[in-house]
Amino acid sequence: MANSENQNPNPNPSEATLGATAKTITLKTADGEIFEVEEAVAMEFATVKSFFKNGAVLATTQMQLPNVSDSALSRW
């Protein structure tokens, strides 16, 4: 039997971080829609990740995504 002290009281990680303030990045699609997404999610996009690795944008900058529609981004 597992010790209850070692068990995660909240097995859903998204619920566990609700109280924490996640770092966000602002993305603007070709349609002009603006999305505030967590940095970890934004880094899933190769384009976003490469801009940040190269220092081309700051985390506080609204990043333009001219080849991405709002319908494509809203699926994430």
Token representation of residue 4: 């209850």
11 vs 76 pLDDT, higher one: 76
Q: What are residue 25's DSSP bridge partners?
A: 37
Q: pLDDT tens for residues 13-61?
A: 444 445 557 788 899 999 999 999 998 888 888 888 888 777 766 667 7
Domain boundaries, the chain: 22-71
Binned at pLDDT 50, 70 and 90, residue 72 comes out as confident
Q: Does domain 22-71 have CATH number 3.30.710.10?
A: yes
How high is the pLDDT of residue 12?
44
pTM exceeds cut of 0.95: no
Q: How many helices (H) and strands (E) does the chain have?
A: 4, 3
If you write DSSP's letter for every residue of 17-32 in order, what string do you get? TTTS---EEEEEETTS
